[in-house]
């Protein structure tokens, strides 16, 4: 079956002899079944976008661990912000509970939250390595419980990929679209998160695969870099580039339960969180589609609009002064008015 799928991935379009979406998912699981656990170091660099403006660029560096058998995940990272503030975050997903701990490295203040999440939950927080690492998705995804469809065979970054759509139950066209390179262990080269047909509000693209050492002494394909974008009305408002330090990638180290736990400091209260927007794969409910621009982006937009209004006011003032010259200065004033009007109209069109 595996050889058949690989040949199908490299040749013509979908036809009656093409594998089904369920067969493709099962093949991806089999190709990665040898992974008992993995760990690596990573970093991400983010930029808030508004036209040419860039106002928020956090740098994150940290360590990541994952165990496919039970979905256990642990991640710790430092965040360095443009305003000089520094934070340390620790996330632990173990036995169905997500613990998040944050610490302000300047003030020493700590906050811990606890949240019950199903095993098949798809983590979507940006700037973190699970955005380019889709192994957790395929490990926990059950095609019997979740509608999945093979859209076709398409090229991504010069590689022939299977385009799969993974839908929420009862919500047609809402879910994930993935472009899988079956010739390189089924890793995704592009991912789109959609809440309405043909309109992604999150994109992971330009995923780079490299060969890294495997436990058997051979080489295996693994994602080492990718770009994530948050979209509003098809416009990117935030972009981050995630990089995995290739030399630190380790497989099958026998990670224990203790290595997926977070020790809550004495005296720090744990707050329970129940977010209605967090929906696991395969549920009939769908999160409310975001309609508000994130605060940091909204501030940038407001500043840009204010600057635009000021520029237009200055232009109108210059034209007003030119009209005064027309009244008092005859032909010379007329020439100035015409020139100012032309320049203003050109600026308005651009």
State the average pLDDT over residues 276-299: 38
User: Residues 200-223: pLDDT tens digits?
Assistant: 888 999 999 999 999 888 899 999
Long-range contacts of 275-278 (CB under 8 A, 24+ apart): 275/115, 278/115, 278/117, 278/121
User: Residues 121-179: pLDDT tens digits?
Assistant: 555 566 788 888 876 666 555 545 667 889 999 999 899 999 998 876 666 667 788 99
User: Residues 3-51: pLDDT tens digits?
Assistant: 444 545 454 554 456 789 889 988 888 888 899 999 999 999 988 776 5
CA distance between the termini of the chain? 56
Q: Which CATH superfamily is domain 2-288 in?
A: Lipoprotein localisation LolA/LolB/LppX (2.50.20.10)
What distance in Å separates the CA atoms of residue 207 and residue 223, rounded to the nearest whole number?
7
pTM value is 0.71
Pull the structure tokens for residue 133.
Answer: 């690492």
**Complete DSSP assignment for 220-259:** EEEEEEEEEEEEETTEEEEEEEEEE-GGG-EE-----GGG
Count other Cβ atoms within 10 Å, centred on residue 289: 11
Q: Where are the domains of the chain?
A: 2-288, 298-349
What distance in Å separates the CA atoms of residue 127 and residue 123, rounded to the nearest whole number?
11
């Amino acid at each position: 079956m595996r050889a058949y799928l690989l040949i199908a991935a490299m040749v013509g379009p979908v036809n009656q002899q093409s594998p089904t979406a369920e067969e493709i998912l099962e093949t991806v699981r089999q190709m990665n079944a040898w992974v008992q656990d993995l760990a690596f170091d990573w970093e991400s660099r983010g930029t808030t976008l508004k036209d040419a403006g860039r106002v928020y660029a956090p740098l994150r560096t940290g360590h990541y661990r994952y165990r496919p058998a039970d979905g256990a995940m642990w991640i710790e990272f430092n965040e360095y912000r443009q305003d000089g503030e520094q934070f340390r975050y620790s996330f632990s997903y173990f036995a169905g509970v997500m613990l998040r701990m944050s610490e302000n490295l300047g003030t020493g203040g700590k906050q811990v939250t606890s949240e019950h999440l199903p095993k098949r939950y798809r983590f979507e927080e940006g700037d973190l390595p699970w955005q380019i690492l889709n192994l957790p998705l395929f490990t926990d995804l059950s095609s019997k419980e979740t509608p999945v469809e093979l859209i076709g065979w398409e090229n991504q970054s010069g590689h022939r990929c299977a385009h799969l759509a993974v839908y929420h139950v009862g919500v047609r066209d809402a879910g994930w679209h993935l472009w899988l390179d079956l010739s390189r262990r089924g890793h995704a080269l592009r991912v789109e998160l959609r809440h309405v047909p043909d309109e992604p509000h999150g994109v992971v693209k330009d995923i780079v695969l490299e060969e890294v050492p495997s436990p058997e002494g051979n080489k295996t394909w693994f994602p080492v870099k990718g770009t994530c974008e948050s979209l509003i009305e098809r416009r990117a408002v935030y972009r981050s580039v995630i990089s995995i330090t290739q030399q630190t990638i380790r497989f099958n180290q026998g990670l224990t339960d203790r290595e997926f736990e977070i020790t809550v400091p004495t005296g720090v209260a744990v707050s329970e969180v129940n977010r209605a927007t967090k929906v696991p794969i395969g549920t009939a409910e769908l999160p409310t589609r975001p309609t508000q621009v994130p605060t940091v982006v909204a501030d940038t937009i407001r500043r840009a609009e204010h600057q635009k209004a000021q520029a237009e006011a200055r232009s109108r003032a210059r034209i007003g002064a030119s009209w005064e010259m027309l009244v008092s200065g005859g032909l010379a004033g007329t020439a100035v008015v015409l020139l100012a009007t032309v320049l203003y109209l050109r600026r308005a069109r651009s």
